[in-house]
Structure 1
Amino acid sequence: MTTNTASTGPVWDWAAGHGPVTGALSATTGCLAVATTGAATGMPPGWALAVGAAGAIGHTISSLRERLSGRTIAMRSASWLIGAGWTTWAMATGPLTWAAIGSLATIGVGMGAAARSTLLYEEARELEAIAANERQVARELSAERRAIAAEWVDRVQRVCNITLRILAVEIWPTGTGFTIDAELPPGGTTYDRIAQHSAALSADARLPHGCTAVASQGIHQGRVLIDVTTVNVLSEERTYPSDYSPLSIYTGIPWGYRTNAEEICVYLREQCALVVGPTGSGKTNMVHVILAGFARTTDVLTWVIDLNAGSAGLPWVRPALDANGTPVDGVRPGIDWLASTYEEAVLMLDAALAVGLRRKVAYQDLMAERNTDQLPISAKIPQIMLVVDEGAEILTSTDRRMKELAKKILEVIRMLRAMGIRTVLTALGATGSVLGNLMIRREAKARVCLTGGEVEGMDLSKVFPGSRGLRVDQAPYKGAGFMGTPESAAALFKNWRILPNQIRDIVLATSDLHPTLDGVSSKAAGDTYASRWDPERTAWMRDTTHTPATDAPAQTAGSAGGLNLSALRGDRESAEEALARKFREQIDAEFATFAEPGTNTEQPTPSGLNLSALQNEDNAARQVALGLLFSAGPEGTGASAIARALAKEYGTTRQTVVGWLKTWTADGTAVRVGTGTKARYVHRQHAPDNPSED
């Protein structure tokens, strides 16, 4: 605090932070002290007046630099002059008279009141300046929004022939786009009139590839929301977030992010999920993202069925087991159970059904206490999420054993929702054969369709019925596609990239988060569940000498695909060469070398097609049809052509051939190329890497 000496006149220290009361008291006591001292020492009275005038001028200059108001400048200058005037008068007439002291007290009260008034005025003035700046920013932002609104009113009128009244424009915080809230015109116009023109609106707006203009329902049926993405966030690859904080089945589990860069979560307490994605679309990575989310939850146990050697679940188990199959201290697997064979899958599904049925009885009192008809899921009574890789294909398989698995999976889906057992199924394609099951369509309300730019077998209308404006070419990137849940309409999304080293990190970081199966459920599951990690049952995970047996369709020995003819296994030629030669000879002889089972008593010659291992005529016709498919080469053939070739010899109908071709397409033996009347089928050994439509 700066103080002035007594010889300089009145004490006016505005920089000391005095308030109205302390400032006035300091000024008046200073004046009294200077007047008393001056009178006693014979100081010329004019000096005090000169000092006061100098103080008034100095404070006026400083106040102007601080850009204070004229009221404040006048108050400060007047205070200096009035104080200096009183001091001069008191020095001449005597400062210790009642008149001098009373007048000084009056001056002090006036100074305090004036100081208080100007302080309030300056505060109000400062707040008004801040508000003015905010209004200026709002005006500028409003101008941008008005420009966007005007532009899109014209665009929707031009493309959709609909006149909108835009109520608001929300700029996304991520800076990747904006949302338009508009009122539809009267006359029964609905939002899907705009949704079906999504591609045309995107093109008219010259949006970058991967950016869309998607219309969805507004707050009521007379309103529409148009989400416009201006920055393509799908083209870049993002790794799975390093935040492994605990999650819950009730708070949602993140599966990816939208085009506005916001996470999208699924809520699977009551819902099942379906993930569709062809080879190369990032489906396996998506499964790992799903398992990562489940690993972070404190009230979920994950059981995985993967008949392809358990590849989806192995990275989540191996960090918790040593080279001998003994559990590592302090580390629990990222999943609770893994089935890689038909037999283990049957055990798992039987255990799930037993757990669900037992819970229905054992927890009646708990549900009555909580006044709910659903089992209260918690860390003490965890939900079981059954993840079945290519489970949709199991449900549509014609194989007897796969039908048995399918029956059990459907029982779990149908019966155990309230008891906290739900499923996540994956599929290779969005086709009618995969999605034809009513149970899948009804229960799997959380749906993902990864496209990766693949067009064949990607019928988005089957995955998201009722959604308009969705096109495969909007998501040409690996790991990108469409996702829809009951809480979020079907729209573009992308999942994160997750690598094996991060999977290991997640397993180690979340080991303490995993719940344990409740006692009631564990008892119902029995020893089958209790011994699931015994070294004998996990030995296949450490066997690197040969590929574990799976329940995939049998393949030709020595070849990745083709016809499985057991009678050819003794040939010295390679299986591929022998098969190709025999098919050519078969076509040349118009099937003359074939003899029906039971009628040919001679040993087949090495140059003929040996089908003696076949059991019946239907199987013989089926194998010959597969031979015709192979012999057709890269050009392929159709159901009608095959049926005509088989009709005379076997009486095979076109409908039968169509069924064979669908089965071969589903298990990967054949590839369907083209659509409609131009559709043809090519054996996978002759199929192009990326088949396209004609």
Structure 2
Amino acid sequence: MTTNTTTKKVQDASGGPVWDWAAGHGPVTGALSATTGCLAVATTGAATGMPPAWALTVGAAGAIGHTISSLRERLSARTIAMRSASWLVGAGWTTWAMTSGPLTWAALGSLATIGVGIGAAARSTLLHEEARELEAIAADERHVARELSAERRAIAAEWVDRVQRVCHLTLRVVAVEMWPTGAGFTIDAELPAGGTTYDRIAQHSAALSADARLPHGCTAVASQGIHQGRVLIDVTTVNVLAEERTYPSDYTPLSLYTGIPWGYRTNAEEICVFLREQCALVVGPTGSGKTNMVHVILAGFARTTDVLTWVIDLNAGSAGLPWVRPALDPNGAPVEGVWPGIDWLASTYEEAVLMLDAALAVGLRRKVAYQDLMARANTDLLPISAQIPQIMLVVDEGAEILTSTDRRMKDLAKKILEVIRMLRAMGVRTVLTALGATGSVLGNLMIRREAKARVCLTGGETEGMDLSKVFPGARGLRPDQAPYKGAGFMGTPESAAALFKVWRILPNQIRDIVHATTGIHPSLDDVSSKAAGPAYATRWDADRTAWMRDTNPEAPATDAPAGERPAASGSGLNLSALRGESAEEALTRKFRQQIDDQFATFNPTTSTSEPGTGRPAPAGLNLSALQPEDNAARHAALALLHAAGPDGTGASAIARGLAEEFGTTRQTVVGWLKTWSEDGTAVRVGTGTKARYVHRDHTPDSSAEG
């Protein structure tokens, strides 16, 4: 298409109209420019005696030049002919006018006629070129559509056959949508008549993936369609979960109502959670990336303009410290202009009690103080905003607190459940984490009912990962589909449970987010702040944050041998039987004591009743360090394991072999075997009642090395 455009008027800085001399010519201005140019050349040539042949030469050169440029632009023959004819006609008139006089009425009239003709021809060719370009674009689009349609038809036919072969169902494919990320596609199909539901296909997810020869980490997952007679089959062809992606560096503000991103699906698209009314539960065993997931959650909350984050982590506050430390200088003093990424951090039982009491007080006070506001908004939910922010209570390993039998933990659990049960409408919600997806952790009905946003990080772990407890009713979910650290399954009320992966967030990103979001953190509203009381107002006082600044503890140095060092004040009895032991012996003793305490394996060989009374002896010190039989029995058990050879043996057999001489119980042997399997002394083969242990000297790896 020609690039000529009409000369335009634009506004300059002073507000007056000016001409845009950089603009090209259109049909009118082009014709006007050509005719005035011819008149000027003819008048000048006639006055100066210029040879008329020069005008013809210039016109011929212009026609040739425009023909060449038009061919390069791939313009139509009509446009090329019009441009060449304009040059030649103009040159012819100029030559005639130079010989007969350019200022006669005949010359001026003919020039005006030529100008009108050039303008009309230019307009006609311009429209023709635009039509040609639109047709070329449409043709390209039709070509791409034909190719894409052919690809989609092939995919549809392939998957109709596959579903028929694997699921014994005949589908009618309505559409095939290719994902913009290029990681797969979605098939929209109608289910056959007769009451067939989508889960007939969902339960064969693994079989369909295997039949399609999808790469590891890629799945074919069926979900509900637009109505109950339709099904959507999401097919992943590129395993985006295998690669590690860092947290997006775009720290733009977020809102509770627009969703907070927690990771990405197998189609590489972000998945967001909406936590205005619901709580969240994150399950993940050690090493699955749960701590990283907590930091991603805190990063999302730090970026929101209507959320305040309170964190409870009784493991020395490790989940929240990285979000507080950037706001403190090396001496522990607050950094000017920087505010912590979280609003409150509790690392002890006492601080957690203060935080939960404050949360309950805030929620109960809001119920009364904001009745007029809710009435004006015609809602029974408190309108959350930057002026009245929501409080998100993040409790690391909170599910374990709810199931603990410790008295103090029971008190915390009671308060957490009160927050979950009572304060939904008033904008106080929780995010709990747990180490495993087991019945003991997820047995609380309140957790299952309120935590509708659920995450289960597996990292390939299968022990304690009962996905049916986390996502009841979901089909086709298997831990081995997400063998990567940070990968797992996520389900929300807006998005069905499916594979996802959380971003990797690095410590320097946490520091950057704290600095980038300092200016957008909301402040607790006055009503809530007064209800929270002094516990909230003084949460960052020096005496309550001294533990955060104690980063370089100095232990008293001593060069005395271990057996000669004085016992610390209040450290306990100075047992002379343990004096002079080596570091290795001390470590062995401590480990033995841990086994005794956990499994009750120590059975003293001395009498368990008081002499002459027959009554049980009163509970006393368990001086297992003084029992050489313990070490002897352990060595004997290891000898029996080695003697069993490549076939191995079990705890019951070893216990029977030791019972007569040492009186060792099976429970004790189980603890030893578990320790040996962890340190590599033995290898466990099989599971459940068929499990046996083989000494490492008889394993294939050791024989190969030998």
TM-score (norm 1): 0.74
- Counterpart of 1:233 (choices 226, 232, 240) is 240
Shift of 1:73: 4.2
For 2:326, the equivalent position in structure 1 comes to 319
Q: Is the 8 A contact 1:301 1:514 kept in 2?
A: yes
Whether 2:132 is the aligned partner of 1:125: answer: yes
Taking the aligned partners of 2:379 and 2:424, their CA distance within structure 1 comes to 13
- Counterpart of 1:150 (choices 142, 147, 157) is 157
What secondary structure, in the 3-state scheme, does the structure 1 residue paired with 2:533 have?
helix
Taking the aligned partners of 2:287 and 2:188, their CA distance within structure 1 comes to 38
After superposition, give the CA deviation of every residue in 1:615-662 in whole Å (9 maximum; x if it has no partner). xxxxxxxxxxxxxxxxx9998879xx9xxx9xxxxxxxxxxx9xxx9x
Distance 1:245 1:635, change over 3 A: farther
For 1:137, the equivalent position in structure 2 comes to 144
For 1:433, the equivalent position in structure 2 comes to 440
Query: 1:479-498 maps to which residues of 2 (within 5 A)?
Result: 479-498=486-505
Whether 2:123 is the aligned partner of 1:116: answer: yes
For 2:450, the equivalent position in structure 1 comes to 443
Task: Answer with 452-461 or 162-171: which moved more.
Answer: 162-171
Task: Answer with 245-254 or 575-584: which moved more.
Answer: 575-584
For 1:600, the equivalent position in structure 2 comes to 615
Distance 1:679 1:420, change over 3 A: farther
Amino acid at match of 1:364: Q
Whether 2:409 is the aligned partner of 1:402: answer: yes
Q: Is the 8 A contact 1:181 1:225 kept in 2?
A: yes
Q: Is the 8 A contact 1:594 1:609 kept in 2?
A: no
Taking the aligned partners of 1:115 and 1:342, their CA distance within structure 2 comes to 85
**Please, which runs of 5 or more residues in structure 2 have no aligned partner?**
1-22, 555-570, 579-588, 626-639, 642-647, 660-666, 672-683, 694-706
After superposition, give the CA deviation of every residue in 1:360-415 in whole Å (9 maximum; x if it has no partner). 11111111122221111122221111111111111122222222211111110000
Q: Is the 8 A contact 2:595 2:601 kept in 1?
A: no
- Counterpart of 1:390 (choices 386, 397, 403) is 397
Q: Is the 8 A contact 2:610 2:616 kept in 1?
A: no
Q: Is the 8 A contact 1:35 1:90 kept in 2?
A: yes
Whether 2:222 is the aligned partner of 1:215: answer: yes
Shift of 1:681: 13
Whether 2:258 is the aligned partner of 1:243: answer: no
For 2:513, the equivalent position in structure 1 comes to 506
Q: Is the 8 A contact 1:582 1:607 kept in 2?
A: no
Taking the aligned partners of 2:505 and 2:689, their CA distance within structure 1 comes to 40
After superposition, give the CA deviation of every residue in 1:494-539 in whole Å (9 maximum; x if it has no partner). 1122233332333233233222222211211112222222232233
After superposition, give the CA deviation of every residue in 1:105-143 in whole Å (9 maximum; x if it has no partner). 555544433332222112211222232223323333333
Task: Answer with 161-170 or 362-371: which moved more.
Answer: 161-170
Shift of 1:488: 1.5
Output the aligned Cα RMSD: 4.6
Q: Is the 8 A contact 1:583 1:609 kept in 2?
A: no
Amino acid at match of 1:438: L
For 2:476, the equivalent position in structure 1 comes to 469
Query: 1:356-371 maps to which residues of 2 (within 5 A)?
Result: 356-371=363-378
Q: Percent identity?
A: 82
In the alignment of these two chains, the number of paired residues is 601
What secondary structure, in the 3-state scheme, does the structure 2 residue paired with 1:157 have?
helix
For 2:188, the equivalent position in structure 1 comes to 181
Shift of 1:491: 1.2
**Please, which runs of 5 or more residues in structure 1 have no aligned partner?**
1-15, 548-565, 611-631, 646-656, 662-672, 683-694
Whether 2:327 is the aligned partner of 1:329: answer: no
Taking the aligned partners of 2:24 and 2:209, their CA distance within structure 1 comes to 61
- Counterpart of 1:271 (choices 273, 278, 284) is 278
Taking the aligned partners of 1:582 and 1:392, their CA distance within structure 2 comes to 25
Whether 2:390 is the aligned partner of 1:375: answer: no
Taking the aligned partners of 2:84 and 2:519, their CA distance within structure 1 comes to 72
Amino acid at match of 1:417: R
Q: Is the 8 A contact 1:568 1:575 kept in 2?
A: no
Taking the aligned partners of 1:88 and 1:258, their CA distance within structure 2 comes to 75
Amino acid at match of 1:304: V
Taking the aligned partners of 2:198 and 2:316, their CA distance within structure 1 comes to 47
What secondary structure, in the 3-state scheme, does the structure 1 residue paired with 2:196 have?
coil
Distance 1:637 1:69, change over 3 A: same
What secondary structure, in the 3-state scheme, does the structure 2 residue paired with 1:440 have?
helix
Shift of 1:301: 1.5
What secondary structure, in the 3-state scheme, does the structure 1 residue paired with 2:215 have?
coil
After superposition, give the CA deviation of every residue in 1:50-109 in whole Å (9 maximum; x if it has no partner). 998887777666655544333334445665676778789989999888777666655554
- Counterpart of 2:349 (choices 342, 362, 368) is 342
- Counterpart of 1:515 (choices 516, 522, 536) is 522
TM-score (norm 2): 0.73
- Counterpart of 1:295 (choices 296, 302, 306) is 302
What secondary structure, in the 3-state scheme, does the structure 2 residue paired with 1:167 have?
strand
Q: Is the 8 A contact 1:455 1:472 kept in 2?
A: yes
Taking the aligned partners of 1:525 and 1:43, their CA distance within structure 2 comes to 99
Task: Answer with 302-311 or 452-461: which moved more.
Answer: 302-311
Taking the aligned partners of 1:290 and 1:189, their CA distance within structure 2 comes to 39
For 1:199, the equivalent position in structure 2 comes to 206
